[in-house]
Chain A
Amino acid sequence: MSSDTPSMGASKRASATSGLRNSQTARPVSPHTPQARSGNPSFASSTSPSSSFRSEDDAIIFEIGARWLRAGFEGSSAPVCVVGFGPEDSRRVGDYRGWIQGSTGAGRLPQSVDMDEWTRVYELWRPDSREVDLGLVEDKIERAFRETYNQFLLTDAGTSRLVLVLPSLMPHPLLSSLLSTLFSRWRFPSVTLLSSATMSATAAGLRSALVVDIGWAETTATAIYEYREMTTKRTTRSMKHLMQEMGLLLTGLASDGSQDPDTANRISVGFAYCEEVVSRFAWCKPQAKKDTSSDELNRKLSIPSPANPEEEYMEVPFSHLAEPAEKVLFAPGVEEHELDDEEKSLPLLVYNSLLSLCPDARGTCMSRIVFVGGGSRIPGLRRRVLKEVSLLIDRHGWSPIRGKALERQRQRLEELRLSARKASSPPETPKSNGEAPSTNDEPADPSKEVPEIDFVEQKLRRQNKDIPVPIQGVLREVESLGPWAGASLTTSLKIRGMVEIEREKFLQHGLAGATRDIDHPVPDRRSGLRSGGDRSSWTLAGWA
């Protein structure tokens, strides 16, 4: 994924692989005359493309996920609307049952439903495109966009540029469906794709970050270094499972625990009701330890009874509501080696993605952890993840090597050293004993180590005294305004996306028209002469 990575501003770094092309381009710094552009006045001003050629409308930004769609105008801090996908949105026109009987899923289901079926109708797509009816997705997208424009955006659809914030990993059939729906339905002049992880980092004011997106189908941890996506790791422990787990919990409450085994994975409470419970009261214990004060454990909360949410209330111990999040996202009591690669717990996911970075990037990213996505709203979750990650770091350091052999070897070394020390200086033994494991087993933990400043470093520091030393090497969480706001920021600064798909070109060839060459040179918009060749091609960058 390192390709789809944006770079902004830093002229040195504006490489071809960056996901954003800047409207100002890299220039030599020292003396230079304005280059021979004066002969071509029409291109002289084209460096700020939107201002001079035509007064362009504000771009419209859509963030699309499997469950929600956010839409709004560039430059605003929050989307105008947030629209969900659900069975109510796939009804026929003129079908008002949702209004007559109350929306589906608010009450109890007539019969219990399999977990997967339960969530399916509420998803726009799933990551596995074999299970997706693309035609249906197109229909839903078309309707969602049309209604968003008509109800919330209140502008003519298709007149202004469209910016889509998408996860950096999109199945091509889906992406193609999405784009062809938009292009064939409306006359969008161009569609810009921005990667949601990078935009989350931007909206946190960061250039490097570890963006943990606790989304619907999966949780991704994307390490971003100088706006480049370095690695992405993902796990299926996500909001969908959390919702299902909460559904099971509520089903259990509704039936008073008298579950027969063949309905073990079936849910009988409504999805909307369950989602309400999750959004209101799902929480996560900030500590893994069990023995919270009994006062807290016993505290009851009255929620609408899962058996009959419309009328009755039911007392539920508050601590119960923390269980789904704990079980789904942290997998307590399960050894690491028992988990599949795709279902690591959240702390492991964060740790592993940090581990896979090179030390420099790791140090930078670990003190810039950004949580986004629906799961990041669960109170207590983020702190808990960070705590467990720091535990993992304490335990393993930054070494991927585990196992008994290593342990044995370490002990042998330790003994060797201890005996050596004992021989030489017995009085120091107790002290070194305590320190020994941490000093020689792994190449010191950067978060613990006191930074040792050598003379080169000192000199460098003295030289650029103005440039503040970035925080590095400690676990720190930074709040982000979310990918939508990031895209809004980026777009309003007139920074252009690397992936800008123009209408005519897409309609000719579709996605296949994109240049496969990821290192495709960024079309240089200044040089009017060469641009002929460059303009004919476009790239999908990271989405290719």
Chain B
Amino acid sequence: MSRPFPYTYISCPCADTPVPDPARKRRSRESPQKSPQKPPTGRVDTDQDKKLSVKEEQQGEDEDEEQTFDPRSPRSNFSLYPPEQLLYCEECHQIKCPRCITEEIVSWYCPSCLFETPSSMVRGDGNRCGRNCFNCPVCTAPLAVSTIENATGNGPQQGPWVLSCGYCLWTTLDIGIKFDKPTNIRSQLQKMTDSTPPATHDRSRQASRNFGDLKHPLSSFASVDEQSSARERDGEQAAPKDDPAAPPMGTDARFAALKNFYRTQIAETSNSPNDHLSSEFGFSSPGALNRLMSLYTSSSRLSGLYGGSKKPKSKPPVMREALTASEGLQVALENNETDMIARLQSPECGWDGMASIDQRATQSPDARFVDDLLPLPVLLRTKRAKRCKSCKHILVKPESKPQSTRFRIRLIALSYIPLPTLRPLAPSSSSALPAMAPTSDLNSLPPLRPIHVLLTLKNHMFDPVRITLATPPVTPGHVATKVTVLSPQFEIGANSDVWDEALQGASAPLTSDSRSAALRGVPEAGKVWDKGRNWTTVVLEVVPGTLPGSSAEGGDGNPNTETNDEDILAVAASKQDEDVLEIPVFVHMDWDADAQLDQQNVGKGSKPDDKVTRELAYWMVLGVGRIQASL
């Protein structure tokens, strides 16, 4: 599939525990919904359907172990991991995949310049590098700072600077941007992009300053109404003047204008002083005093006394909508779209003049043409510590320095579970069985011809492990492949110091291959194929099934034969990996571990010699190869 054959995947046991939906039980009690998980392709045959409904009934009970893991179900893609990517929690004694850990960020750094960014600056920089690291907006290659005169061989300190891409030869000159200094490009760029449409920018600036004054918490509340109304009148007058001609504001400017507008609106419409957003301003300011005064003067009885010319307002000011461009309103322009269509049509635009979806994803939402793309500051990366989700035990803790690749703590699962490796058993020349297919090419396994594969489990623990393997006799899915583990129960020796092995019998592992090929000859049921210091190899006999719709589909009792034509069509159309032969194997391992202190205290399950039996069970998927379409 993804990796070259043969490969192994391990399914994290967390897949067996569905997301606990507190309402689900209740819902199912109210109305037993019938298999919402039924794949709509209609390729589920009846007994699988039955299984599904059974599964649903048993959801919540712990009978999940009874089910066969199906590597083909779309959900299994989310629980299968290459063995080396899994972690192991020593507290829970369980495999941990990225789904059952929580992560905490240790440090932020730029992958390009490897500078660590302090956490306080990360958000301000928009999660991107604040220095000179940029990626090409067209091809995402890193951009280099270079001078325009560089090509002519002048001094390097000369002239305007540009960012240029070494891969696709894009430069910032293409969008008309030059830099004065070779340093601090990010802020230079920021300034330039902010002011590209100068008129707009000035206007919005001014507007926001206006708003800033207005919404200033110290401005008196009694007068806010008059002020705002005055401003509104101004706005009214100003609006018709600048609206039609004004180029549309940028997203940022508009957003800022809208935000200011809503702020002032909220400030204006909330009358009670204490309710004001900025309640942290006490009564110490003149504005507040004013507010207090107006509170009393506006009272109906006293208003006459204090010469309050203002009548008490009968209704609260109502929040209104944005009315002018400076408040963030933007009425769609008439010719905006026709212009764009004309530009689309124009020969100089063409396919490559338009930004692709990938290019646009990281740009401002308005970007549509390649000319709109700006150099992208490099996205920061993080170093993260990982904890077990259930017990908060730290599983991984990297060193915070970006340059260092070391880990303080790293509990990878392979130190605890045996590493599975798979290889085909090459038919030895001495025992040329007629039934054996040549297994040289795993990418085209002939159907219905038995092959043998060797599964080696290598133990990394310092305790010997007892293993029980189990496979479904027939793989799930449409291609019914028969699988037999010839010796399902075996032991793997303890891992010991490598030097021990080297000193004891250095030649043993080296010769084992040749020995097995030459001496063992025929794999036998119930016998371990080969065994070393901390590894054991067993043989799996596999009879690949026939692909649905292939010429080799025979009537040898396969459930395949029952599938109708429609099914086959659907399968052929939808499943591209139908021909991949993957074997789910259930691994159960137990071993006697040194009891830890806490368990000794509890005394639970501890053997007299301070040993505790631990067990671990998980599903593993062996990718053997691809089945040929026909014989």
Select from chain B the residue with minimum beta-carbon distance to A159.
B104
Known: A176-B23, A379-B344, A489-B259. A24 touches B103 (CB 8 A): no
Mark contacts of A117-136 with chain B using CB atoms, 8 A cut-off: 1 yes-contact digit, 0 otherwise: 10010000000011111111
Select from chain B the residue with minimum beta-carbon distance to A132.
B36
Indicate whether B319 reaches chain A with its CB closer than 8 angstroms.
Answer: yes
Known: A30-B299, A203-B258. A301 touches B345 (CB 8 A): yes
Q: What B residues does A279 contact at CB under 8 A?
A: 354, 356-357, 360
Select from chain B the residue with minimum beta-carbon distance to A488.
B255
The answer to whether A30 touches B77, judged by C-beta atoms less than 8 angstroms apart, is no
What's the minimum C-beta distance from A10 to chain B, rounded to whole angstroms?
5
Interface residue from A58, A135, A206 paired with B75 (Cβ < 8 Å): A135
Indicate whether B408 reaches chain A with its CB closer than 8 angstroms.
Answer: no
What's the minimum C-beta distance from B77 to chain A, rounded to whole angstroms?
5
Enumerate A83-116 residues with CB–CB distance to B below 8 Å: 83-84, 90-97, 110-111, 113-114
Mark contacts of A318-340 with chain B using CB atoms, 8 A cut-off: 1 yes-contact digit, 0 otherwise: 10000000000000000000000
Interface residue from B9, B74, B255, B345 paired with A485 (Cβ < 8 Å): B255
Indicate whether B191 reaches chain A with its CB closer than 8 angstroms.
Answer: no
Known: A180-B20, A493-B263, A508-B22. A204 touches B329 (CB 8 A): yes
Select from chain B the residue with minimum beta-carbon distance to A206.
B321
Alpha-carbon separation in the docked complex, A152 to B327 (Å): 31
Alpha-carbon separation in the docked complex, A78 to B360 (Å): 13
The answer to whether B300 touches A30, judged by C-beta atoms less than 8 angstroms apart, is yes
Indicate whether B2 reaches chain A with its CB closer than 8 angstroms.
Answer: yes
Indicate whether B123 reaches chain A with its CB closer than 8 angstroms.
Answer: yes
Interface residue from A114, A508, A509 paired with B573 (Cβ < 8 Å): A114
The answer to whether A152 touches B319, judged by C-beta atoms less than 8 angstroms apart, is no
The answer to whether B82 touches A93, judged by C-beta atoms less than 8 angstroms apart, is yes
The answer to whether B123 touches A506, judged by C-beta atoms less than 8 angstroms apart, is no
Known: A11-B270, A30-B300, A77-B251. A466 touches B319 (CB 8 A): no
Enumerate A127-162 residues with CB–CB distance to B below 8 Å: 129-136, 138-140, 142-143, 146, 149-158
Q: What A residues does B22 contact at CB under 8 A?
A: 180, 506-510, 512-513
Interface residue from B98, B331, B354 paired with A280 (Cβ < 8 Å): B354
The answer to whether B123 touches A205, judged by C-beta atoms less than 8 angstroms apart, is no
Name which of A43-51, A210-218, A242-250, A454-462 contacts chain B: A43-51
Indicate whether B340 reaches chain A with its CB closer than 8 angstroms.
Answer: yes
Indicate whether B433 reaches chain A with its CB closer than 8 angstroms.
Answer: no
What's the minimum C-beta distance from B324 to chain A, rounded to whole angstroms?
9
The answer to whether B102 touches A478, judged by C-beta atoms less than 8 angstroms apart, is no
The answer to whether A286 touches B338, judged by C-beta atoms less than 8 angstroms apart, is yes
Alpha-carbon separation in the docked complex, A177 to B20 (Å): 9
The answer to whether A133 touches B316, judged by C-beta atoms less than 8 angstroms apart, is no
Question: Which of A25, A92, A281, A507 lies at the interface centre, i.e. has the most chain B CB atoms within 10 A of its CB?
Answer: A92
Known: A31-B295, A157-B103. A134 touches B37 (CB 8 A): yes
The answer to whether B103 touches A154, judged by C-beta atoms less than 8 angstroms apart, is no
Known: A138-B19, A139-B75, A283-B341. A8 touches B103 (CB 8 A): no
Known: A205-B329, A283-B344. A92 touches B9 (CB 8 A): yes
The answer to whether A81 touches B361, judged by C-beta atoms less than 8 angstroms apart, is yes
Q: What A residues does B261 contact at CB under 8 A?
A: 205
The answer to whether B75 touches A136, judged by C-beta atoms less than 8 angstroms apart, is yes
The answer to whether A29 touches B295, judged by C-beta atoms less than 8 angstroms apart, is no
Interface residue from B74, B98, B122, B299 paired with A31 (Cβ < 8 Å): B299
Q: What A residues does B510 contact at CB under 8 A?
A: none
What's the minimum C-beta distance from A59 to chain B, rounded to whole angstroms?
13
Indicate whether B563 reaches chain A with its CB closer than 8 angstroms.
Answer: no
The answer to whether B356 touches A280, judged by C-beta atoms less than 8 angstroms apart, is yes
Enumerate B276-297 residues with CB–CB distance to A below 8 Å: 276-277, 279-280, 295-296
Select from chain B the residue with minimum beta-carbon distance to A526.
B275
Name which of A181-189, A352-360, A420-428, A531-539 contacts chain B: A181-189
Mark contacts of A353-379 with chain B using CB atoms, 8 A cut-off: 1 yes-contact digit, 0 otherwise: 000000000000000100000000101
Enumerate A197-240 residues with CB–CB distance to B below 8 Å: 203-208
Enumerate B328-354 residues with CB–CB distance to A below 8 Å: 328-332, 334, 337-338, 340-341, 344-345, 350-351, 354
Indicate whether B252 reaches chain A with its CB closer than 8 angstroms.
Answer: yes
The answer to whether A468 touches B232, judged by C-beta atoms less than 8 angstroms apart, is yes
Indicate whether B256 reaches chain A with its CB closer than 8 angstroms.
Answer: yes
The answer to whether A151 touches B272, judged by C-beta atoms less than 8 angstroms apart, is no
Mark contacts of A445-489 with chain B using CB atoms, 8 A cut-off: 1 yes-contact digit, 0 otherwise: 000000000000000000000111010000011110110010011
Mark contacts of B415-458 with chain A using CB atoms, 8 A cut-off: 1 yes-contact digit, 0 otherwise: 00000000000000000000000000000000000000000000
The answer to whether B331 touches A90, judged by C-beta atoms less than 8 angstroms apart, is no
Indicate whether A73 reaches chain B with its CB closer than 8 angstroms.
Answer: yes
Interface residue from A155, A468, A506 paired with B323 (Cβ < 8 Å): A468
The answer to whether A479 touches B255, judged by C-beta atoms less than 8 angstroms apart, is no
Question: Which of A184, A488, A508 lies at the interface centre, i.e. has the most chain B CB atoms within 10 A of its CB?
Answer: A184
The answer to whether B127 touches A80, judged by C-beta atoms less than 8 angstroms apart, is yes
The answer to whether A117 touches B20, judged by C-beta atoms less than 8 angstroms apart, is no
Select from chain B the residue with minimum beta-carbon distance to A138.
B19
Q: What A residues does B340 contact at CB under 8 A?
A: 379-380
Select from chain B the residue with minimum beta-carbon distance to A83.
B361
Select from chain A the residue with minimum beta-carbon distance to B268.
A9
Alpha-carbon separation in the docked complex, A472 to B540 (Å): 78
Known: A135-B18, A477-B332. A205 touches B321 (CB 8 A): yes
The answer to whether B271 touches A158, judged by C-beta atoms less than 8 angstroms apart, is no
Indicate whether B224 reaches chain A with its CB closer than 8 angstroms.
Answer: no
Interface residue from A136, A176, A186 paired with B102 (Cβ < 8 Å): A186
The answer to whether B23 touches A512, judged by C-beta atoms less than 8 angstroms apart, is yes
What's the minimum C-beta distance from B395 to chain A, rounded to whole angstroms?
15
Enumerate A286-309 residues with CB–CB distance to B below 8 Å: 286, 296, 299, 301-304
Indicate whether B520 reaches chain A with its CB closer than 8 angstroms.
Answer: no
Indicate whether B382 reaches chain A with its CB closer than 8 angstroms.
Answer: yes
Mark contacts of A30-56 with chain B using CB atoms, 8 A cut-off: 1 yes-contact digit, 0 otherwise: 111010010000001101100100000
The answer to whether A94 touches B82, judged by C-beta atoms less than 8 angstroms apart, is yes
Select from chain A the residue with minimum beta-carbon distance to B334.
A383
Alpha-carbon separation in the docked complex, A136 to B2 (Å): 20
Q: What A residues does B361 contact at CB under 8 A?
A: 81-84
Alpha-carbon separation in the docked complex, A45 to B300 (Å): 29
Indicate whether A275 reaches chain B with its CB closer than 8 angstroms.
Answer: yes
Mark contacts of A1-25 with chain B using CB atoms, 8 A cut-off: 1 yes-contact digit, 0 otherwise: 0000000111111000000001111
B: residues with CB less than 8 A from A are 1-3, 9, 18-24, 26-27, 36-41, 74-75, 77-82, 85, 98-99, 102-105, 108, 122-123, 126-127, 228-230, 232-233, 236, 248, 251-252, 254-256, 258-259, 261-263, 265-266, 269-277, 279-280, 295-296, 298-300, 312-313, 315-316, 318-323, 327-332, 334, 337-338, 340-341, 344-345, 350-351, 354-357, 360-362, 364-365, 368, 379-380, 382, 384, 572-574, 576
A: residues with CB less than 8 A from B are 8-13, 22-25, 27, 29-32, 34, 37, 44-45, 47-48, 51, 58, 73, 75-78, 80-84, 90-97, 110-111, 113-114, 117, 120, 129-136, 138-140, 142-143, 146, 149-158, 173, 176-177, 180-181, 184-187, 203-208, 275-276, 279-281, 283, 286, 296, 299, 301-304, 313, 318, 368, 377, 379-383, 466-468, 470, 476-479, 481-482, 485, 488-489, 492-494, 506-513
Beyond the given A94-B9, A173-B36, A493-B263, could you list 19 further A-B residue pairs with CB under 8 A, ordered by the A residue number?
A: A30-B299, A48-B277, A78-B365, A80-B127, A81-B362, A84-B357, A91-B2, A94-B82, A114-B573, A139-B77, A176-B21, A185-B19, A205-B328, A208-B321, A280-B354, A281-B344, A478-B331, A489-B259, A507-B22
Shortest beta-carbon contacts, A-B, top 10? A510-B23, A205-B322, A95-B2, A466-B229, A77-B255, A9-B319, A510-B22, A139-B78, A477-B332, A24-B275
